Structure 1
Amino acid sequence: MKKSERMNQMLRYINQKQQFTLQDLMQEFQISKRTAIRDIASLEELGAPIYVEYGRYGGYRLLQQMQLPPISFNTGELHALYVAMQALRSFSSLPFQVSFRTIHEKFMSALSDKQRQDIENIQHRVSFRHTEQIRDSAHLEFLLMAAVQNIVIQITYANQRRTTDQRPSSAHTNIRTIQPITLYAMKGYWYCQAYDLQKQAYRVFRCDRIISAEVSDIEPLAHVIKLHAKDTHSLWEPSPHAIPFQCQIDEAGVELFQQEHFPSMQIIHVNESENEPAQMLLVGSYETYELDFIVRYLAGFGKSIKIMEPEMLKESLRQYYMDLLDHI
């Protein structure tokens, strides 16, 4: 990183932190103690009101917040921003209803001729061939802000049965009270991970099936507020009637699992020793009403898995393959 760029980033860092030490700067910017001292001197020359506090718990303090210069991006950062925008092109629905076309025009107009030429070359050299968004989701911004602000909301949710014109029938909807936690996109759909207050359990909702959403007057649950997106699996618990399953899985199957899996399942390693590699197992559980779903999911692994138990799941998968042969 060039010194001028590091100075710019360091100004923003200390302006936000207000109080810092040499060790903070060394760790944040991966520089030596001598470089950190020289950088502080350079910041003071730029007019940063830095005050030194001596003693065991001393360090540096910013006397007042500064007016920072406009944010600028280097060439690598501009390229990264453009590639990130390209990755979003397949989504017809995004939080905040952003227009890719408008953002793209503003972005390109702010570039120099050389930068614009580089971006146009990148456009012809990189593409993202992931799944196109299958259905629009009308309430993404509302769901995201409810998750950010820890708000309990009430939604009208449609089940999988739809009318012939793909609109949900009123007979197949229900009212749910949920506390959203996080949003994610996978295989052409947006999903909302949330805590269902009626079920008192973790649930995942397809965002395109949410017909309406509004704020409720219910106080948010404290134990849900403390969760981060990476902790949401801890909310999931099987019911007393859930059926455990176990499958042998190979390396190719593990890659498929990493592309798509659910909170009710995991990969474990067993029988590991110095002389033999560990055997990999796909283990988990499913509810009785999820049998068709779990059969279709496991069928996607092909020869990469072998069901060990239960026998009923093994027979159901065998019947699934027989039904497929009947349609050939």
Structure 2
Amino acid sequence: MSKSKRLIELMIAVNKRRKFTVRELAEEFSVSNRTIMRDLQALEELGLPLYAEYGPNGGYRLLNERLLPPIVFSEQEAVAIFFAYQSLQHYGSLPFDEEAVTALNKFYYYLPDDTKRTIDKMKQRVIFWSPKRKAPSPHLRLLLDASLQMRPVRVLYDSREGAKSRTIQPIGVYSQNGYWYCPAYCFHREKYLLFRVDRVLQAEQMEEGAKTVDVSGYPLQMWLLPQGQPVSAVYASDPERMPLIAELTTEGVRRCQWEGIFHDELQVNDDGTGTLRLHIKQDDFDYYTEYFLSMGADAVIREPQELREQLRQAAVKLFEAYHASKPSS
């Protein structure tokens, strides 16, 4: 076996074992202890973080910040991975901002020149766009780490009633329409709630020994689509939600279909018009007022009456603003 091939296989073996002795590796690769020692030194020079433990039960241990072994990709796989990373560039916040940039730069740097040319051409023809929101989410990584460690977090959350302190235990984070959301168990309300991450003004993990809840049987997918049910069916059973019914023109239907926000909730008639049936919380009124106001007469709210009235007041306010203003000469 050539030295280069042995080094690659040795790196793979070390990453799998995490703890080992020189004799174990020498026997596995059928080489001398001295050869393994030289190979381990070469891997350390490449950046593999090894820690030597002395004594009867000693050996080598791989530290947590380790390098992953090399993986061989086909050209098409390399292009697919590059654009998978690049698709994240339009997000305003990521839980791994710096890591995504450095990983993409490393990956591109070591590609063959002809593969780089293929990617450079494709960058002019393929863009994965998502709305970039201006609202920062500085505590996104902390909430993600807390969900992985299943530890509660004390947050200052800016809700409709104002900024309030509460303790939550995150289930995970997900992105939708340019915003990041964090479903979590709220110890104050004693139930699961959905939090918008950009509204988290302060966050800190609770100390060891703080009260926790078991969310291991509640993966993020269950929050989105519990037991495979459509979102509309799940929300309909939520006592805090009220039905929203909006009648849409053909243009209103096209817009809903194009934006891809609503699926099961949108019913299309034979003539192209449609009806949108949702279940929303009162906290969502401001969002839906802005959304349906932007659709103009292509969407008319029938229920709930409270949202109809809020939308009517917003329309009157908009009319008065334009009626009072004078066109510039």
TM-score by length of 1: 0.61
- In structure 2, the CA distance between the partners of 1:327 and 1:212, relative to structure 1 (3 Å rule), is same
Counterparts of 2:136 and 2:109, CA distance in 1? 29
1:182 is paired with a residue of what secondary structure?
coil
Query: Deviation digits for residues 227-246 of structure 1, max 9, x if unmatched?
Result: 23232155866446x54332
- In structure 2, the CA distance between the partners of 1:148 and 1:158, relative to structure 1 (3 Å rule), is same
**Contact 1:134/1:189 (8 A) holds in 2:** no
**Contact 2:92/2:178 (8 A) holds in 1:** no
Q: Displacement of 1:256 after TM fit?
A: 5.6
2:171 is paired with a residue of what secondary structure?
strand
CA RMSD of aligned residues (A): 3.6
**Contact 1:196/1:202 (8 A) holds in 2:** yes
Aligned to 2:136: 136
1:130 is paired with a residue of what secondary structure?
coil
2:131 is paired with a residue of what secondary structure?
coil
Counterparts of 1:289 and 1:120, CA distance in 2? 45
Identical-residue share of aligned pairs (%): 27
Query: Deviation digits for residues 254-311 of structure 1, max 9, x if unmatched?
Result: 426633x6xxx961659x9xxx689853223444565444322332343443323344
Unaligned ranges ≥5, structure 1: 1-11, 17-68, 162-171
Q: Displacement of 1:73 after TM fit?
A: 0.9
- In structure 2, the CA distance between the partners of 1:302 and 1:201, relative to structure 1 (3 Å rule), is farther
Unaligned ranges ≥5, structure 2: 1-11, 17-68, 227-233, 323-329
1:193 is paired with a residue of what secondary structure?
strand
Number of positions where the alignment pairs a residue of Structure 1 with one of Structure 2: 242
Counterparts of 2:163 and 2:223, CA distance in 1? 26
Counterparts of 1:323 and 1:150, CA distance in 2? 46
**Aligned residue runs from structure 1 range 191-210, under 5 A:** 191-210=181-200
- In structure 2, the CA distance between the partners of 1:199 and 1:256, relative to structure 1 (3 Å rule), is farther
**Contact 2:90/2:129 (8 A) holds in 1:** no
Counterparts of 1:90 and 1:312, CA distance in 2? 36
**Contact 2:91/2:130 (8 A) holds in 1:** no
Q: Displacement of 1:78 after TM fit?
A: 0.8
Residue type at the aligned position of 2:116: R
1:88 is paired with a residue of what secondary structure?
coil
**Contact 1:144/1:183 (8 A) holds in 2:** yes
Counterparts of 1:70 and 1:291, CA distance in 2? 51
The answer to whether 1:186 aligns with 2:176 is yes
Counterparts of 2:90 and 2:255, CA distance in 1? 27
The answer to whether 1:119 aligns with 2:116 is no
Aligned to 2:153: 153
Counterparts of 1:132 and 1:93, CA distance in 2? 9
Counterparts of 1:123 and 1:278, CA distance in 2? 37
Counterparts of 1:257 and 1:115, CA distance in 2? 34
Counterparts of 2:196 and 2:133, CA distance in 1? 13
Aligned to 1:294: 288
TM-score by length of 2: 0.60
Aligned to 2:277: 283
Counterparts of 1:291 and 1:135, CA distance in 2? 19
Residue type at the aligned position of 2:311: L
**Contact 1:157/1:175 (8 A) holds in 2:** yes
